[in-house]
Amino acid sequence: MAEISEPYRVGLTADCAEPDGMTIFGDVGLERLTAAGLTWEVMPPIVGHLPNAGDLAGYDAVLSFGHLHFTRDVVSAAPQLKHIARYGAGYDGIDLEGLADAGVVVTNTPLAVRRPLALAALTMVLALGHRLVENHVAATGGRWTDRGNYRGAGVSGRTIGILGLGGVGSDVVRLVAPLGVRVIAPDRPGSREAAAALGVELVDIDRLAAESDYVVVTAALTPSSYHLVGEHFLAAMKPSSYLVNVGRGSLVDQVALTAALRAGSIAGAGLDVLEQEPPAADEPLLHMDNVIVTPHALCWTDDFTKGVATSVIEAIIDVAQGRRPEHVLNPRAAQGLRPKV
């Protein structure tokens, strides 16, 4: 194992961690950092989403639990910083090219997130299709005789539209394959190979909106995918259809979605993400009987924590010891690292 001449300091963002290193995800295995000769500490809380140079000063790596924004200007003013390690798959708000210019490697944990998030999407589809929450409320509210009012549509023979046929979206397709569903996705050059292998029919996005009984959003948030599901898309959906979003809140125009639900343009929604998190107490979506909202945590299971923690800790140790980690988002920044054997 390569020797680290100076203490290699890892800062854990305080948004999801206590001073003793315990996180809202549970134990993430920080003892592995110590065993590798690295030191770690929970950073002072960062105000807002954009840290300043003082927040990052003195750290070689930052383990970012939440969705902080990292820019070239900020990291350039923290010359000791070598690595931003995202706990999870998303990296919206991180200037990948700017950090590459500053020589700061950015990693994430896409493989570890994939199956838990796909299962979260399927959970939403099944809960909506069986009207789980409405039946639960009827039963616990003493309205047993109302059970005939909440018959679900089910999924067999239905069409599921996937917006985002990447790792998570592809895994959703694998999970629903035994359920007798038709799966469609937008026709994108980068999706054709995966679609052919998975038996997914590629259509234009308007047709996807019009033909889907369930639209499942798993896309990454980029400038081009912002409000991917907007007023036009929602207007094309069937009144009997449901929207599920487990990607990012801003993939869906929340105002347009609220209006569509109020108008009965779609049957309901399952949302693990919202545009504003946490939402305001008077957010209308929180008070609709046909909407399931979870706090951006539906995939947080024991296997999620184990997989993501193992991946992120391994990446931090790799960079500290001069190895190129597995999931580098800005390869130019990792050119000086030796290949991992």
Catalytic residue IDs:
248, 277, 296
- Specify the amino acid at residue 75: V
Could you tell me which residues are beta bridge partners of residue 250? none
- Specify the amino acid at residue 265: S
Q: What is the C-alpha to C-alpha distance for residues 267 and 284, in angstroms, rounded to an integer? A: 16
| Residue 48 CA to its chain's centroid (Å) | 20
What count of Cα atoms within 13 Å lies in the side-chain half-sphere of residue 192? 5
Residues in Cβ contact with 197 at an 8 Å cutoff, skipping those fewer than 6 apart? none
Radius of gyration of the chain (CA): 22
Going by DSSP bridges, is the β-strand pair 201-203/214-217 parallel, antiparallel, or unpaired? unpaired
Across 55-180, the runs of DSSP E, i.e. the strands, are 61-64, 83-86, 105-107, 159-163
Q: Tokens at residue 190, please?
A: 């980068």
Write down how long the chain is. 341
Q: What is the C-alpha to C-alpha distance for residues 320 and 83, in angstroms, rounded to an integer? A: 9
In contact, 82 and 328? CB cutoff 8 Å:
no
For residue 216, give the nearest of 190, 181, 192, 262 by alpha carbon. Answer: 181
